[in-house]
Amino acid sequence: MKKLVLIIVLNLFLALNSFSQEKQSDSTICYPSAIMHSQPVNNNRFHPPVYQDYKKFIDTTKVIKPHIHPSPPSFPCQTPPDKAEQGYNPKKPIQNLPCMLTNIRGLNFEGNNLAGGYPGDDYLAISNNGSIISVNNYTVRYFDINNGQVIDHGFTLLKDFFPYNISNTDKLFDPKIIYDRYENRFIFILLYHNYDYSVSKIFIAFSDNITNSSSNIGWYHYYFEASDFFNNTNNTKYWFDYPNIALNKDELFISLNIWKSPSGQYHKPIIFEIDKNDVYTNYPNNLIFRTYTELFAGNRYAINILPVNESLQSDNYENVMYFVDNRSYGSNDMWWKKLTGNIYNNPSITNHYFHSPIHYNIASYASQLGGNPEDRIRIIDNCIQSGYFRDGKIHFVIHSSDQGWMQIVYYILNTNNSTANVHTLSGKNKHINYLYPSIAYIGSENNQEDKSIFTFNRTGPNMYIDIAAVDYINRWGCINQIKKGEGILNLADYTNSGYKERIGDYTQIQRKYNSGNAWLIASYPFGSQQNNFGVTNGLNNWISEIFLFNPIVLELDIDPFSFKIFPNPNNTNILNISFTNDKKVQKGKILIKDIYGNLVYSSNFNDNNIQIKLPNLKNGIYFVSIKAKSKSYETQKLIINN
């Protein structure tokens, strides 16, 4: 019989919410490149380190008063926000085009709870051996992934993780944790200030080598204090905000904004360049570091600077670090920076401008289902909180207004000519806001395509806040709901100053370097049921594994025989197989493979109606095929959704 090659392309259709505007920005350099030198190497850390063994776990009967994340009263050079959700018509029908998902949810489970405070500010890191530490503004939680099973070791209050005297009136916020795949360790940072901003610190914790579990790791603790670098006066106190963290082979980079209190004025940025290998080798009393403060965006101080991590396990990211920053919303101006050299050989940073075709702005609010006007979501400047570097390109993402509906804006910035391809994903026509996106690379080690995966929150007048994911491979894939919102978010008090409900200032997604899959974390409202701290209508976070479902090439007969599999999707360990147009089936074999082509099940059969017991399979997509003498059968897709 004649043969044909049937190419099954899973992204045949784009969803209606996958509108993209793809433009290439001008390469005009509006400001000259400049070289900015750092302050000299500083090996006087001011504050001795503290070593602490693995954490004691929480006693949920001891709950401190929830706190509210501080936020600057204004950003410099901002414009008034866009009028929110323009053109909304609840009677206008919304049509959904057919769409086949290309990103698949794997293991997924609840992460950290909040004790009534907001926002969540969720972050996680996963090691190559499957140890996960997830954090938010209240707790630190420890998991291990072992043979497809999630082991939950419990959690610690954030105030108990760091071995310092932290009172209930002090503020802990913006936790971020990163996996150092060069040395198999975690690095954890957290911001602190006291009640009147006179003391502002960044805590930095370096873990021991990760051996077998996230729950029994020791940590070395350090901190920097803002007053070590900026002199407080009676009228002006300086404090850290908006931290970002990245690393290369030898060094750790932390960027922050410096604000003035009580005026609320922006001061300048600061970047710390730290010799992390010295910490790992010597656990010294003093960190070796440089600071950079004279960093500009045109003729003004830069703000919201993001250091960009490498994308792959095989990357050798050494003696270089890339940064990207947008001055603030209300403009088309963006900058990227390149640091060359290392901490010991007089490194320098060059500054480069590029023009964005998307005018960056935010909407005044976002709605949620069931909410009164006072329950609208306050939208915070997303800044640039997430990106990666690969093959001479900086990939990063922000959210921005599309006629009052928040959209995803994805930049692929070519550092060779300072131009950017820009791709937008808007929910305007579906009456949905896309908020706080983050990005990771999800392709294989040797793949030359740009394969990015995103997570973000969604909300609108017809839906509760949820968590979603989408991929971009030459074009937008289809949006996959990761965690459905369970009810209204109703924590904050409405005042005349504006809308106060807040989801979070960021979501986060990270590649698991030795597998190519990604893991995400974000907040969702859990509804009227109480969480671990007795809170209702508040925020918890959700953790999920994400992997790509790639196009598959199959060789089939022109008129293949067919069979049915059920139940499908399958949440049991039983699968039934029935042949539809072949009454006389000879002996044959059933094969089940995962998306990577690995054989996960095999058995013989000699009947038309077959029932098999499946092995313990992870959530995801599998392919069921039949091999029989002189016959070829269609391959069926099986979805495991336990």
DSSP string, 446-499: T--S--EEEEEEEEETTEEEEEEEEEESSSB---EEEE---S----SPPBTTB-
DSSP string, 558-609: SS-B-EEEESSSB-SSEEEEEESS-SS--SEEEEEEETTS-EEEEEEE-SSE
Q: pLDDT tens digit string along 279-333?
A: 999 888 888 999 999 999 888 899 889 999 988 766 677 889 999 998 755 678 8
What pLDDT score was predicted for residue 147?
A: 79
pLDDT band at 550 (very low <50, low <70, confident <90, very high): low
| Token pair for 41 | 């190497």
What pLDDT score was predicted for residue 58?
A: 36
Average pLDDT over residues 456-479: 92
What pLDDT score was predicted for residue 322?
A: 96
Measure the CA dihedral 52/56/60/66, to 10°: 10
What pLDDT score was predicted for residue 522?
A: 96
Residue 184 DSSP label: T
Distance of CA 482 to the CA centre of its chain: 13
Cβ contact 611:575 at 8 Å: yes
Q: Are strands 539-548 and 433-441 parallel, antiparallel or unpaired?
A: unpaired
Q: How far is the C-alpha of 439 from the C-alpha of 126, rounded, in Å?
A: 15
Cβ contact 491:106 at 8 Å: no
Burial environment of residue 491 by CB neighbours within 10 A (0 to 12, 13 to 18, 19 or more):
buried
Give the chain's length. 642
Which is the CATH superfamily of the domain at 23-548?
YVTN repeat-like/Quinoprotein amine dehydrogenase (2.130.10.10)
What pLDDT score was predicted for residue 582?
A: 57
Q: pLDDT tens digit string along 244-281?
A: 999 999 999 999 999 999 998 999 999 999 999 999 99
pLDDT band at 32 (very low <50, low <70, confident <90, very high): very low
Domain range summary for the chain, segments of one domain joined by +: 23-548, 560-640
Instruction: State in words which class domain 560-640 has.
Output: mainly beta
More confident residue, 378 or 467: 467
Q: How far is the C-alpha of 7 from the C-alpha of 2, rounded, in Å?
A: 16
> What are the CA-CA distances from residue 10 to residues 103, 104, 552, 557 (Å)?
10, 12, 8, 21
Predicted confidence (pLDDT) at residue 476 exceeds the cutoff of 70: yes
Residue 282 DSSP label: H
Burial environment of residue 483 by CB neighbours within 10 A (0 to 12, 13 to 18, 19 or more):
buried
Residue 369 DSSP label: T
Predicted model pTM: 0.79
Looking at the DSSP bridge assignments, the partners of residue 172 are: 192
Predicted confidence (pLDDT) at residue 93 exceeds the cutoff of 90: no
Predicted confidence (pLDDT) at residue 74 exceeds the cutoff of 80: no
Looking up tokens 């099973």, which residue turns up? 149
Q: How far is the C-alpha of 325 from the C-alpha of 333, rounded, in Å?
A: 9
Average pLDDT over residues 156-181: 89
Q: What percent of the chain has pLDDT over 70?
A: 77
Give me the sign of the Cα torsion angle 472, 409, 304, 503: negative
